[in-house]
Structure 1
Amino acid sequence: MKKLLLFLGVIIAIVIICIVVMIYLKTRPLAKDQAISLIQESLEKKVDKNETIPNGLLRIESSQLEFSHNFTSGLSHGVPIEDDQSFHTASIGKIFTATLVNMLEERNVLNINDPITKYLDDKVIEDIFVYKGIDYKYKVTIKQLLNHTSGVADYFEDPVTSGPNMRELMIEKPDKLWTPLDLVKFTKNNQKAVSSPGQKMHYSDTGYILLGLIVESATGKSFHENLHEMIFDPIGMNDSYLMFYSTPKNPEKKLNELYFEGKKIHTYKSLSADWSGGGVVSTLSDLCKFSRALNKYKLVSKETLDNMYTFNQKYMNGMYYGLGVIEYHFEEYFPMLKYLPNVTGHMGVFGTQMFYDKTSDTVIILSLGSTDGTSKSVRLLIDVLSILARIK
């Protein structure tokens, strides 16, 4: 419900802003310097003076437009934020997990149609796939975890049978270091499955924790070792790492300030409540490298990427899900946005966005570092795409 209300607010805001955008879209072409100025202005408007969104980061790289620029606004730790600042990417991390799984399939280490019981001990998944009295754990596949159709609950957002939910616990217990098994047990002890496998799309961080455990089981290596060896190191993501589990190849930068429901939490150990569901720390430059490598078939083949980009699960109006990847259909928010391309990537609860437009070979990375910035980050992405469409 919270997500639906959030995106309802986004849609209302879009209706207001896109009318103005469309009036000038075709009649007022922009030079690149004008576009840069407008994008900077849009970013600055999203940074909140009440300090729950203290700064913003944005990178745009487009080969077709011959456009490459970093944008910053606001302060980080009391000084102007720099464009190489490291930040928590939140659920953008899911696309890394999905990419790892698909890379392992190409190497014949696993098959995404395998049942998850081939890799996970029965005790790990005990009771979490019970729906209407029937335990479906033997019927759940890796692919169903990837596209959120396994039926498992979401430890991060779903209601609990009793006691505080995970979002409350993150604030109440800032020194709690959550292990992956802790997160799965939270669903086991406090939540119920939402459907039988394959019956409905239900976004689940629990499912992505299970995918991280499958990667470890299939490879005999830790999840973070796989991230570094298979993705970060080969493509030069030298400032990226898995929070609480690894360090970057370059000297580690101070993590950008992070706000969760109004609380500054970038020093909280409870941020460990993500792991393979969204625990990657990165930079604008590194995420741009990843998006380029993925979409240029440097990590997986075209056939595999096409499979990942089969968006047949509707997450909500305007958002469709593939295998660990989101595609925006902006015209579903408002018909006058139909001129905008469908872009592919992922977003995160901390106002993070990483998307790729194949029609213009454009990568857009942004972060507002706050749960208060989730809807604003969608509006900023629309602003950016609208401005880029006017460059002549």
Structure 2
Amino acid sequence: MAQKIMISPGRYVQGEGAIRQIGEQVKSLGKFALVIGDKIALPLTREDVQKSLQDNGINFKFEEFGGECSMQEINRLKAIGEEVKADVIIGIGGGKTLDTAKAVAYYMNLPVVIVPTIASTDAPCSALSVIYTPEGIFESYLILPANPNLVLVDTGIVAKAPVRLLVAGMGDALATWFEADACAKAAAKNMPGGAATQSALALARLCYQLLIDYGYRAKLAVEKGVATEDVEKVVEANTLLSGLGFESGGLAAAHAVHNGLTALEETHHYFHGEKVAFGTLVQMIMENRSNEELHEVLEFCVSVGLPVTLRQIGVTEVTPEKIRKVAEMSCAEGETIYNMPFPVTPDLVYNAILAADAIGEAFLAE
């Protein structure tokens, strides 16, 4: 029997105004912080972060993130960190900024603090950085030896971000239960290389349930820029539960199909979670899930504004060549698609993509 392994961040802090407590939370981790933030996140948070770090006797340097989580950018920031003798890294912003901060901390052997300003992916809690080429094409997964030391989510900031980002996060979180369930059925290994604990599967299931129950209401609240209890629940699903679920439960076809879709340039303008939502439908077709399950997922996606067709992720001209390319890349060596509980071939994926697209189109036409 494989050993069961579950991993998680050292500490998770979530709530409206949490950013104003960052110094208090960070002071046990280091005395000089390199603060990496993207051009949207830094102006939003700089004042609160600066004051809180100063109040807690922490020195700091702010550095703007270049825009792509590539090895070039990681090395640039690492050099800055070494120059200022930083002893803790703080990442503030979206998924790519946070993945970059995690990678910089890893290569410098330092603790890392993650501050998502959007709830658009499950990147914040994970011991993983997704590395891209400078042009934005998926390159590799950098598996890290530990999860972030601290994840701090200010729901007041998250609620003021564009609603599409929260919805994209729901798309990423939507896959969590289906992928964890597939991995459990296949006795596939999770990210730390063990079997899933019952806790991980329960959290993955809870992640899905929170989306179905509160996703639509949270979307409406964020359209008004407010953080309600619905928003708190969905942010927790998108960030903490999805992160714990995918790492300690495992990834399967939905994320592999996302990676395949990046082969088509027209999908590059769509968010990770939007493509994962469509990948979830593809996985459900591959598994021959029930009409009830499929209907619940389709209904949820349409209610919050997640794509259920290729057209909705930019693929307006669906050709056999394009879909074949996506299917082949989804089945690349080492892809998570091989965690499915049955043999997978590019033909199977090709068929499932076209079937999922047709089902999505038919659902929209009803």
| Same-fold status (TM-score > 0.5) | no
More helix by share: 2
| Superposition TM-score, scaled by structure 1 size | 0.29
Q: Which has the higher contact order (CA 8 A, sep 6+)?
A: 1
TM-score, normalised with respect to structure 2: 0.31
